[in-house]
Structure 1
Amino acid sequence: MAPPAEEAAQSKAAEEASSAAKPDAEAAAQSIEPAESEPKPAPSPADAEREAKLKAAAEARAARAAAKAKAEAEAAEAAQAEQDTPKEPSPRQGDLDRYVRLIEETIGVGTVQESGLNELNADMPMLVIAAERWPETGLLLRDNGELGFNYLRNVSGIDYETHLEVVYFLLSLDTGQDVAIKLKADREAPSVPSATPIWSTANWNEREIYDLLGIRFVGHPDLRRIMMPDDWVGHPLRKDYEPLDSEV
C-alpha cells in the first residue's frame, strides 16, 4: 500500500489533468457546427402542372356540388310554395261536369264510374264508362248537340296487370273540345263493345288491340289479327307475355 502522502499527490495530479482536458473538449465541441438541412428539390414542370389540374378539378367539383345543392333547395322551396298556394279551378272543370251530367241524365246514374282531369294533357276530361253502357253512351257523345264528338282521334290499349283498359280519344271538329273515354276489362276474359259501328276509324285500332292485348271487341265487323300471324300464341303487349324465342 502506498503511503498517504503519495496517494494525495497522485489524486491531485489526476484532478489537474482532468481540469486541463475540459477546455480542450469544450473547444472541440464548439468547433463542430451543426450540419445544415439539405434543400428540397424544386418540383418539375410536369408535377406543377399536375398539381394545378388536381386543384382545379377539386374546385370544379366543389362548385358543381354547391350549385346542385342550391338548385335542389330552390326546387324544394318552389314545390313547397306551390303546395301552399291554392290551385285555381281548371277551365276544363265545367266541361267535365257538363259531360257527366248529360251522360247520367240521358243514359242513367252509374254510367260514369269515375271522372277527372288529366293535368299532364292540358286538363283533358277523362271518363270511365261502364262497359255494358258504352254503345249508347258513344252515340250520345257523337250525336248530342252539346257534345258533338264526331271524330275518333285514337284508341289505346293498356295492361295494368290487375285489369286491361281501352281508351278512346274523342274530338269535336266543330268546337275543338276533347275527351278521353276509358273502358275497363277483366284480365282473364277481356271483352268490351266495339266502337266501330259509331266511329268507323276504330276498326283497325281495335284489331291491333285485339291482336297485341287480347281484348275482344263485341260487334266489331272484322275482328282478326292485324300484325301477328293467325296462329301466333299469346299477345305480345301483355305484361305476362313470354315469347317462345327470347331474341324476338
Structure 2
Amino acid sequence: MTTGPDDPGSTGTSKDDKERTGAAQSSAEESGTSLDEQRAAGGESPETGARPASMGGEVPVAATRTRSGMFGVRGTGDTSGFGGLRLPGYAPAPAERPYGGWFDEMADELGAAMDQNGIPRAAIEQVTVDRGEITFYVQREKVAEIARTLRDDPGLRFEFCSAVSGVDYSSPDGAPVDKSLHVVYHLLSMTYRRRIRLEVSLNFDDPHVPSVVETYPTADWHERETWDMFGVIFDGHPALTRILMPDDWDGHPQRKSYPLGGIPVEYKGAEIPPPDERRAYS
C-alpha cells in the first residue's frame, strides 16, 4: 500500500517540519536578499573588489577587472566593430549574515554537517549571494568531502549535480589575476527544491582538483568536458580523456590564452585567418 507524506505510516524523504517534495518551489524571488541589501551586507560596493571588514579587507575570490572589446583582440586591431567597448568590472561582494530566505537555514545545516564529518569550517573560503543565488567558495582539497556531505546529510539532500563547468577569469590585457581558473559545481536538492553552487579557484600552473564522480556519477562527462576545454585535472576521475576535441588536440580552447579563432578556415583556396590575425580597417 502506498502512503503519502502526511499519512501516519509514511516515512517520507523530507524533514517532518520542513518543506516536502512537491511543495512550492523556493525560487530566487522568494530567497536571498536584494542586490542593494546584499551590497550593504557585504560592505564595499562590488565594483571595488574589497571584502567587508569582518573578512580582513582581503580581495574576493573572484577578482574584479574592466573588460574591453568583445573578443580580447590586442595589437592587430578588432574588425568586429566592438573594439571600443568598455564594460566595468564586477564581482559580487562576499556576503554576511543574514543571507535571507532559506539560505541561512541551509548554511547552518551545512556547518553542523561539516562539524559532524570532521571538515573544518575554514574549508568554506567565501559565501556570495547575488541575484537570488548562493555560491560557496570552497578549498579545492575539501570539495569532494563537502560534496558528499551535501548529498548525504538528511537536512541538505543535494542529490543531483546538474553541471560542472570551468571559468577563466584571466585579465584580457594580461594583468596578473591570482587563481583565475575556476571550477563551478551546480547542485540540486530534489527533496527540498533548492539549488546552490560550489566554486573552486585554481592557478594555471597547478590545475588539480579532486573528482566528485564517486559522489555524483553524472559529473563524469562534465569533468571530462571541463578538462577538455579548460585543462582542469580532476584527480581520481575514472577516465579523464577528451570528450569534444580529438585525443591528440593541442591546448584547451576555452582558455583565454588559446589563439582566438582557433585554426584558419579555408574556402576553395582562399584562407580566412582567425579574427586576431586579421588586419584592421579604419
Matches within 5 A, 1:183-194: 183-194=200-211
1:148-186 CA-to-partner distances (Å, cap 9, x unmatched) read 100111111100113211111111111101210011111
Stretch of structure 1 that moved more, 89-98 or 175-184: 89-98
Specify the alignment match of 1:42 in structure 2. none
Distance (whole Å) between structure 2 residues aligned to residue 187 and residue 139 of structure 1 = 26
Q: In structure 1, what residue type is equivalent to 2:243?
A: I
Matches within 5 A, 1:57-68: none
Equivalent residue for 1:142, pick from 151, 155, 161 = 151
1:49-81 CA distances to partner (integer Å, 9 max, x unpaired)? xxxxxxxxxxxxxxxxxxxxxxxxxxxxxxxxx
Q: CA deviation at 1:238?
A: 0.3
Q: Does 1:208 align with 2:229?
A: no
In percent, how many aligned pairs have the same letter? 31
Deviation at 1:209, TM superposition (A): 0.6
Partner residue, 1:220 = 237
How far apart, in 2, do the equivalents of 1:148 and 1:196 lie?
17
Task: Give the distance between the partners of 1:229 and 1:96, measured in 2 at CA.
Answer: 42
Residues 132 and 170 from structure 1, CA distance in 2 versus in 1: closer, same or farther, beyond 3 angstroms? same
Per-residue Cα deviation, 1:132-162 (whole angstroms, up to 9, x for no partner): 0112111111000110100111111100113
Give the RMSD, CA atoms, in angstroms: 2.3
In the comparison of the two structures, how many residue pairs are matched?
162
Report the Cα distance in structure 1 between the residues aligned to 2:139 and 2:224, rounded to whole angstroms: 21
SS at match of 1:156: strand
Question: Kindly tell me: are residues 244 and 124 of structure 1, through their superposed partners in 2, closer, same or farther at Cα, counting changes over 3 Å?
Answer: same
- Say which structure, 1 or 2, has more relative contact order (CA 8 Å, 6+ apart): 2
Provide the rounded CA distance (Å) in 1 between the counterparts of 2:230 and 2:189.
Answer: 28
Q: For 1:76-104, what per-residue CA distance to the aligned partner results, in whole angstroms no more than 9, with x for missing partners?
A: xxxxxx79xx8996314424532552355
Q: Which residue of 1 is the match for residue 123 of structure 2?
A: 111
SS in 2 for 1:203: helix
The partner residue of 1:178 within 195, 200, 216 is: 195
The alpha-carbon distance between structure 1 residues 95 and 179, as it changes in their structure 2 partners (threshold 3 A), is farther
| C-alpha distance in structure 2 between counterparts of 1:178 and 1:98, whole Å | 16
2:146 aligned partner, one-letter code: T
1:225, 1:89 → 2: CA distance?
A: 39
TM-score by length of 2: 0.53
Q: Pick one of 146, 164, 184 that aligns with 2:181.
A: 164
More divergent stretch after superposition (195-204 vs 180-189): 180-189
**Would you say 1:94 and 2:107 are equivalent positions?**
no
Select which of 254, 257, 261 maps to 1:237: 254
- Give, as a single letter, the amino acid of the residue that structure 2 aligns with 1:111: A
Unaligned runs of 5+ in 2: 1-35, 42-97, 171-176, 265-272, 276-282
The separation in 1 between residues aligned to 2:114 and 2:215, in whole angstroms, is 20
Name the structure with the higher helix share.
Answer: 1
1:222, 1:172 → 2: CA distance? 27
1:187 shift after superposition? 1.4
**Larger Rg belongs to:** 1
TM-score, normalization by structure 1: 0.60
Q: SS at the partner of 1:110?
A: helix
What secondary structure does 1:200 align onto?
A: coil
| Maintained 8 Å contact 2:99/2:129 | no
